[in-house]
Structure 1
Amino acid sequence: MNRLTTTEAMDLLQHGDLLQLGQAADAIRRARYGNLATFLIDRNINYTNVCQNECRFCAFYCKQDDPRAYLLSTDQILAKCKETVAAGGTQVMIQGGLYPGLGLDYYLDMLRAIKRAFPQLVIHSFTATEIQHFAKEAGLSIRETLLRLQDAGLASLPGGGAEILDDAVRSRVSPKKISTADYLDVMRTAHSIGMESTATMVIGLGETMEQRIASMARVRDLQDETGGFRAFILWTFQPHHTELERAGEAGEKVSAIDYMRTLAVSRLFFDNIAHIQGSWVTQGERIGQLTLTFGADDAGSIMLEENVVRAAGTQYDMTQNKMVRLIKAAGFTPAQRDTEYRVLKKF
């Protein structure tokens, strides 16, 4: 099969028949993974809600002097890790805002403490935005910052902070946030030291279809260069309680049809990224279930804790038993995986 060009992807995104796209994406998915559909048990730990980026699409952040502001201690984070292990979790995804003046030692001490207490947990944490912030505050290069974090226990990076990798969109919805070039540079540097990552895209931020495909192309190009992306994860913008909503600029939420169409195109487009993950967190259980027939081979995480999407008024709860039932009902064999997509247990 010839590689899909950006022009062809654009045509499919705009004019492709939804069911035919789903069938084409499903054929690729089944050729690679057969009837298997994976999921992860992990916990999102948001160590702070203070963030100086003040993104207009985020309902979670607050300023440092806000009464809602918090910063978790290492002991509080360890308590959450303990609960994760007790629930069968294998990974923690630690993320927060850009807390001014906190210092790199806070993060290094946190990582070392987790690895001492729970060596079995994989620390898949800190977005490219946070990495850049850590480096600037410490006066270090991105590479040196990542090496120090890696030495302390950081295993891999989540794709958060990408949203749409197009600076015209970013300047409108997150003008203080990391640029497209800087985001890609953090990921490139992480991959160069053997630290893999995931790639994400958030749709529904007022972007054009051209900007969606351009964002995906930048990820694919970097993957050609480094091979460091394990998976591509597609989310939808949740507008409630955000500045964009208050300013009347949020627009309508992305429809399930638009989401599924974009998901299917991503499976066709990313011939060099192994895994495509569906999003029950933003789409709900039923659409999350359908993603497995539109190119997704991974149903995402049980997420023992999730705060950012919930702050925007979207809340779906998932358990292992429920996830297994949903995957089976969709006609697939459920399997718990680890961070590197190795199967731990089939159901």
Structure 2
Amino acid sequence: MNISDRNARFREIRDKVESGTRLTLDDGIFLYDPQVPLQEVGELANYVREQKNGNVGYFNINTHLNPTNVCVYRCRFCAFRSDLRDPKGYAMSDEQILDRGREATENGCTEMHIVGGLHHQRPYEWYRHIIELLHDNYPQIHLKGWTAVEINWFEFQTKKSIQWVLEDLRDAGLGSMPGGGAEIFHPEVRDQLCEHKANTHAWLEIHKTAHEIGLRTNCTMLYGHVENAYHRIDHLLRLRELQDQTGGFQVFIPLAFHPENTKLSNLKKPSALMDLRTMAVSRLMLDNVQHIKAYWIMLGIETAQTALAYGADDIDGTVRHELIYHDAGATTPEFLSVDKIKDLISETGREPVERDTVYRRVHRDPNDFTKWRSGEPVETALVS
């Protein structure tokens, strides 16, 4: 395609976006073409971002809990998992889990992000117990736990339905679900990465069921490995289709692949340019998902900051005790202070706003940072 035709094609897409017309598969693939100037794609994504979320940059105060790294699956992209007898294998005790909840409370965390391995010697009841234990002892902390892959494993363990498992976990104190395990939906890629774990149909069906029983969830895409632009856009369109049906996805997080210590260590990690293009294209394709997150742990702080001008409106949070991506070679800090998070957002010209897991504005006691309450939905606050 010559420059004149390329410019005309981009103008068509810009007209679509500005008129609120939905982009197609071909549109998305075109936007991934390196010949299409990244700055122009970013400016268009920023237009959508500001239409939806104004000049705000969201963050939360959160901690991670990975109760075990022992896992029955051997996904090629994972550096976190361990065999049962591997020296690095572990499973946390109740005391360790309660200590993590206590630490979270003492540091004003509003959320605990809970994911881990599928330990073949731990029954479903152990995973449920973790949720119940934390909820009973630290009821104010929102528990965002168990990916669709784990829910699929619980379904196998219990021989119960997806709905039964999700309702049982919700009754134990589960507040929402993360979006992990999506990887890339297209079977050409998924079968290369993780052929034995929850397939695309299962992932989508689990999130659909969660939405139907009132659990909000996140959604993700792991990019920068063996997939291409077609596979990425196909993935985004499947998420968009489910969101049309349920409206239950609250945020999309593009996850940059880290190859170190994985079975794909021969690959190079995605460049910052690919990170920003993926962020922007995701914002343009997912017109029905309110928020796009630039996960600083994976992207790096500088790229995450830049992403706030390429479609993202959220950079996650303080992220205590993150293990999964650091095991895969992430060199980002293992924790950021609240002041540092706010400064990072302010440096980009955005207004830092603390939100809780389900995107309600957090109000802190000015005399005691650990005391807080969730207020109005952030969209309401933006309008007012």
Show the counterpart of 1:295.
311
- Match of 1:4, SS? coil
Structure 2: distance between partners of 1:102 and 1:243: 26
The one-letter code of the counterpart of 2:125 is: D
Which of 216, 241, 253 is 2:269 aligned to?
A: 253
Matches of 1:341 and 1:238, distance apart in 2 = 28
Within a 5 Å distance, the mapping from 1:42-191 to structure 2 comes to 42-191=62-211
**SS of 1:150's equivalent?**
helix
Is it true that 1:329 corresponds to 2:347 in the alignment? yes
Opposite residue 99 of structure 1, the aligned amino acid is H
Partner-residue secondary structure (3-state), 1:56? coil
CA contact (8 A) 1:101 1:137 kept: no
**Deviation of 1:76 (Å):** 1.1
Partner deviation per Cα, 1:8-32 (whole Å, 9 max, x = no partner): 1111111432111111111111122
Which residue of 50, 53, 60 corresponds with 1:30?
50
1:275 paired with 2:291, answer yes
Of the three residues 318, 322, 332, the one matched with 1:316 is 332
Taking only aligned residues, the RMSD between alpha carbons, in angstroms, comes to 1.4
Number of aligned residue pairs: give it. 343
Q: Gaps spanning 5+ residues in structure 2: where?
A: 1-19, 367-384
Q: What is aligned with 2:40?
A: 20
1:285 aligned partner, one-letter code: I
In structure 1, what is the equivalent of residue 374 of structure 2?
A: none
2:324 matches 1:305 = no
Letter in 2 for 1:313: G
Deviates more, 1:314-323 or 1:38-47: 314-323
Q: Specify which of 2, 8, 31 is matched with residue 27 of structure 2.
A: 8
Percentage of matched positions with identical amino acids = 37
Per the TM alignment, residue 330 of structure 1 is displaced from its structure 2 partner at its CA by 0.4
Please give the secondary structure, in 2, of the residue aligned with 1:293: coil
TM-score (normalised: structure 2): 0.87
Letter in 2 for 1:325: D
Q: What's the secondary structure of 2:308's corresponding residue?
A: helix
Aligned partner of 1:208 among 223, 228, 249: 228
* AA partner of residue 287 (structure 2): D
Q: Which residue of 2 aligns with 1:237?
A: 257
Alpha-carbon distance, 1:345 to partner: 4.8
8 Å contact from structure 1 (residues 13, 209) kept in 2: yes
**Deviation of the 1:88 alpha carbon:** 1.2
Shift of 1:159: 0.3
Higher relative contact order (CA 8 A, sep 6+): 1
Question: What per-residue deviation string (whole Å, max 9, x for no partner) do you get for residues 136-155 of structure 1?
Answer: 01111111111100110111
- Letter paired with 2:74: E
2:237 to 202, 211, 217: 217
Q: Shift of the alpha carbon at 1:42? A: 0.8
Match of 1:195 in 2: 215
Q: Which runs of 5+ in 1 are unaligned?
A: none
Q: In structure 2, the residue corresponding to 1:124 is in which secondary structure?
A: strand
| CA contact 2:58–2:314 (8 Å) conserved in 1 | yes
Structure 1 runs of 4+ with >4 Å offset: none
**TM-aligned CA deviation for residue 108 of structure 1:** 2.1
Asked if 2 retains the 8 angstrom alpha-carbon contact of 1:173 and 1:205, the reply is no
Distance in 1 (alpha carbons) for counterparts of 2:295 and 2:165: 31
Checking the alignment, whether the CA contact within 8 Å between 2:145 and 2:174 is kept in structure 1 is yes
Mark the structure with the bigger radius of gyration.
2
**Counterparts of 1:337 and 1:16 in 2: how far apart (Å)?**
35
Q: In structure 2, what is the Cα distance between the partners aligned to 1:335 and 1:208?
A: 35
2:219–2:253 Cα contact (<8 Å) kept: yes
Q: Is the 8 A contact 1:170 1:177 kept in 2?
A: no
